[in-house]
């Protein structure tokens, strides 16, 4: 056994760089487990590795007693004095166990335990390495697909690209090289799990840091990112250096820099937006290419009412509302877009509503909360529906109807 165990220790210590003392501790643990397996775990044993002889030494200890109740751990004074004439009651004697027949079992156990400890050590090293790399772009090869998503081979370990972190339009096959953004590193029983993404907004930000030196150096700052992965994105930028054009820096000469990013994201259209501390100016920039007529700001509710020429509604809203949704995400404000014609109609209706609210002696908000936005809405409503307006009574409804007759266009 000694030669085989010595070979295991030296080989693994050399190949894997694992401390020899750790391997010896593991070896002793394996032999102790084998002894317990054969003799039971209720015996008192001491296991040590003699490095001079390369032998495992196992001693069983028993206490000297007057009457034996536990033969495995006790012996009489007479039995003890066969081994040591000077022994007394209460003393402890150690007996060397013959473990030659445990050699193969112990060696196999030692190998298994050492291999497991080696894996644990490697997994800890990988975890320590990757937990500090959250926010980095990594490159790997598509290994396989499972129910969670795609498994990416990173060399020493693997990463998971979950289904919800994919760019929807992308398709992969085994062997494809892929780049992704590390969003999390979890410490799990079977080893660290590295979670990556291609749809995360910060992946786009990381690509700008990689492709645009001015961003990496902090000359141009990325203020916010909003993405509809694989389709369109908006990135707001600013600089305090008057000699630098933040948009031009991000686009690059003949679009070289932005082209590299778009190419990596498989054609995702990217709008570079100039950030502004003035929310109205920022919103107008974010809603480009639409031309904006007016913007009304509600600071308390963080709502913007954006008025555009009638022919600018489509570019302002975008296909399936994409442009305004991304602009809203970028700003962190709710954005309502109206054409000039529609806004004027609503504004006129609001003025009339204010007059009716004055007649009824209730706040205009009570009408709006009940879903009434103009004179026509109120005129068409039943008495029962009008009573749902907070603060409105039957007497006030009569006054309201009289006021409506006066306010109707044919009576003006």
Q: For the chain, which domains are there?
A: 2-127 (3.30.1480.10), 139-197 (2.40.50.140), 201-337 (3.30.300.20), 342-411 (1.10.150)
CA 2 centroid distance within chain: 50
pLDDT at 16: 67
* CA separation for the pair 94, 100 (Å, rounded): 18
* CA separation for the pair 194, 183 (Å, rounded): 8
What would the DSSP string read from start to end of 84-99?
-TT--TT-EEEEE---
pLDDT exceeds 60 at position 49: yes
For residue range 158-191, list pLDDT tens digits in order. Answer: 899 999 999 988 888 899 999 999 999 988 767 7
Inter-residue contact 60 to 44 (CB < 8 Å):
yes
pLDDT exceeds 80 at position 410: no
Mean per-residue pLDDT, 357-375: 76
pLDDT exceeds 80 at position 122: no
Residue 5: pLDDT band (50, 70, 90) is: low
pLDDT at 114: 66
Residue 9: pLDDT band (50, 70, 90) is: confident
- What percentage of the chain has pLDDT greater than the value 90? 44
pLDDT at 412: 44
Per the document, the length of the chain is 412
Residue 4: pLDDT band (50, 70, 90) is: low
pLDDT at 182: 95
pLDDT exceeds 60 at position 2: no
Mapped onto helix, strand or coil, the DSSP state of residue 349 is: helix
Which two structure tokens, joined as six digits, stand for 399?
């006054």
pLDDT at 251: 95
Q: What phi and psi, each to the nearest 5 degrees, are found at residue 11?
A: -65, -50
pLDDT exceeds 70 at position 286: yes
How many other β-carbons are positioned within 10 Å of the β-carbon of residue 96? 9
Max avg pLDDT among 60-69, 89-98, 204-213, 399-408 = 204-213
Residue 125: pLDDT band (50, 70, 90) is: confident
pLDDT exceeds 90 at position 354: no
Count Cα neighbours of 238 within 13 Å in the Cβ-side half-sphere: 9
pLDDT at 107: 59
Strand ranges (E), 243-308: 269-274, 294-298, 303-308
Residue 151: pLDDT band (50, 70, 90) is: very high
> 């034996």: which residue's tokens?
68
What are the CA-CA distances from residue 150 to residues 43, 170, 223, 236 (Å)? 51, 12, 31, 31
Segment among 109-113, 242-246, 304-308, 355-359 with least mean pLDDT: 109-113
Inter-residue contact 268 to 167 (CB < 8 Å):
yes
pLDDT at 192: 78
Mean per-residue pLDDT, 254-270: 93
> 């536990």: which residue's tokens?
70
Q: If you ran DSSP here, which 8-state letter would residue 175 be given?
A: T
* CA separation for the pair 243, 245 (Å, rounded): 7
For residue range 232-256, list pLDDT tens digits in order. Answer: 999 999 999 999 999 999 999 999 9
- What percentage of the chain has pLDDT greater than the value 70? 92
β partners of residue 197: 181
Q: If you ran DSSP here, which 8-state letter would residue 206 be given?
A: H
pLDDT at 187: 82
Which two structure tokens, joined as six digits, stand for 143?
């290994």
pLDDT at 84: 87
For residue range 12-42, list pLDDT tens digits in order. Answer: 777 766 777 877 787 788 778 878 887 888 8
Task: Report the chain's mean pLDDT, rounded to a whole number.
Answer: 85
* CA separation for the pair 62, 64 (Å, rounded): 7
* CA separation for the pair 166, 322 (Å, rounded): 19
Mean per-residue pLDDT, 126-151: 90
β partners of residue 306: 295, 337
Bigger pLDDT: 384 vs 338 = 338
Mean per-residue pLDDT, 92-117: 71
Bigger pLDDT: 30 vs 69 = 69
pLDDT at 257: 95
pLDDT exceeds 50 at position 1: no
**Which is it for the CA torsion 68, 71, 75, 78, positive or negative?**
positive
Bigger pLDDT: 238 vs 367 = 238
């Amino acid at each position: 056994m000694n030669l085989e165990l010595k070979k295991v220790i030296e080989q693994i210590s050399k190949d894997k760089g694992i401390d020899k003392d750790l391997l010896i501790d593991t070896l002793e643990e394996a032999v102790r487990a084998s002894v317990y397996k054969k003799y039971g775990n209720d015996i008192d044993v001491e296991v040590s590795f003699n490095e001079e002889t390369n032998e495992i030494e196992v001693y069983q200890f028993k206490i000297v007693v007057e009457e034996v109740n536990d033969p495995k751990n006790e012996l009489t004074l007479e039995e003890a004095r066969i081994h040591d004439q000077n022994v007394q009651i209460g003393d402890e004697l150690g007996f060397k166990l013959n473990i030659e027949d445990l050699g193969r079992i112990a060696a196999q156990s030692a190998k298994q335990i050492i291999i497991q400890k080696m894996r644990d050590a490697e997994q800890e090293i990988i975890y320590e390495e990757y937990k500090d790399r959250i926010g980095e772009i990594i490159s790997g090869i598509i290994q396989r697909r499972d129910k969670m998503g795609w498994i990416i081979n990173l060399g020493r370990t693997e990463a998971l690209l979950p289904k919800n972190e994919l760019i929807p339009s992308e398709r992969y096959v085994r062997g494809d090289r892929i780049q992704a953004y590390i969003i999390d590193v979890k410490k799990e029983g079977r080893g660290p799990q590295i979670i990556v993404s291609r749809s995360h907004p910060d992946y786009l930000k990381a690509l700008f840091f990689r492709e645009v030196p001015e961003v990496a150096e902090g000359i141009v700052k990325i203020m916010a990112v909003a993405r509809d992965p694989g389709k369109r994105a908006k990135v707001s930028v600013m600089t305090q250096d008057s000699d630098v054009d933040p948009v031009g820096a991000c686009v690059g000469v003949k679009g070289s820099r932005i082209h590299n990013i778009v190419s990596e994201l498989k054609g995702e259209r990217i709008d570079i937006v100039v950030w502004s501390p003035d929310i109205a100016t920022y919103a107008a920039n974010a809603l480009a290419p639409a031309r904006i007529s007016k913007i009304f700001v509600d600071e308390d509710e963080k709502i913007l009412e954006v008025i555009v020429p009638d022919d600018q509604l489509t570019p302002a809203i975008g296909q399936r509302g994409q442009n305004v949704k991304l602009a809203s995400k970028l700003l962190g404000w709710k954005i309502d877009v109206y054409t000039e014609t529609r806004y004027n109609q609503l504004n006129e209706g609001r003025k009339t509503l204010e007059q009716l609210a004055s007649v009824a002696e209730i706040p205009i908000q009570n009408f709006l909360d009940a879903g009434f936005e103009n004179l026509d809405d109120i005129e068409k409503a039943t008495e029962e529906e009008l009573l749902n307006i907070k603060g409105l009574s039957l007497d006030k409804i009569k006054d309201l109807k009289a006021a409506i007759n006066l306010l109707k266009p044919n009576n003006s």
